[in-house]
Amino acid sequence: MKGKHRIIIETEKLKYEFTIKRNITIIQGDSATGKTTLIDLLRLYSQFKDDSGIMLQSDVPCVVYSGDSQSWNIILETYKNSIVFFDEDYSFIYTKEFADKIQNTSNYYVLITRQPLYNIPYSIQEIYGIRTTGKYHYPDKIYHEFYNIYMEKQIEPEKDVIVMVEDSKSGYQFYSSVFGNNRCISVDGNS
């Protein structure tokens, strides 16, 4: 599967609208923002389709992993060209076996977790929180959107920082990009 996929899921009281851009997307953030409700809506839509009263707009199937913690390897093989959502607390998503498995499938994966995933390469730009927009309160419809957690945080150090890196190539290029050219100096080491 390639490209971006716009997803809208709504009921008469709730609406979620977001775009999944890459094969791995992480959702985290504060409690009570609607992460579990999103998963519940997707799970119920998978089960009852339009009879659920839930409306889903997506150009690819959206499924919620709801199998047990032992058979995930087999169950994952049944999903093709889909966006697979995992709610938090499936411990196998932190394993190397899971990381290896999902790299070789046609699906995109959305993982709800605050725990670091050391075995899976993913972009900092694809770590999202969920927020409510507008001034809606019950019984008005509540609109939820994804926001990029780290790109909106501007952390300025308390003091001016100069970063000295040993090399003049990849390390220098990386830290120059992060801190800016005038804050990064290469000491032109040999290694």
Pick 91 or 104: Cβ nearer another protein: 91
Phi, psi (degrees; rounded to nearest 5) at 26: -110, 135
- The C-alpha atoms of residue 65 and residue 72 are separated, in whole angstroms, by 8
Could you tell me if 139 and 146 are in contact, meaning their C-beta atoms sit under 8 angstroms apart? Answer: no
Distance of closest approach, residue 28 Cβ to another protein, in angstroms:
8
Distance of closest approach, residue 6 Cβ to another protein, in angstroms:
24
Distance of closest approach, residue 85 Cβ to another protein, in angstroms:
15
Footprint on this chain of another protein (rule: CB under 8 A) = 13, 28-34, 36, 88-89, 91, 94, 114-116, 132, 137-139, 142
- The C-alpha atoms of residue 27 and residue 149 are separated, in whole angstroms, by 9
Q: Is the dihedral of CA 68, 72, 76, 82 positive or negative?
A: positive
Pick 30 or 59: Cβ nearer another protein: 30
Pick 17 or 167: Cβ nearer another protein: 17
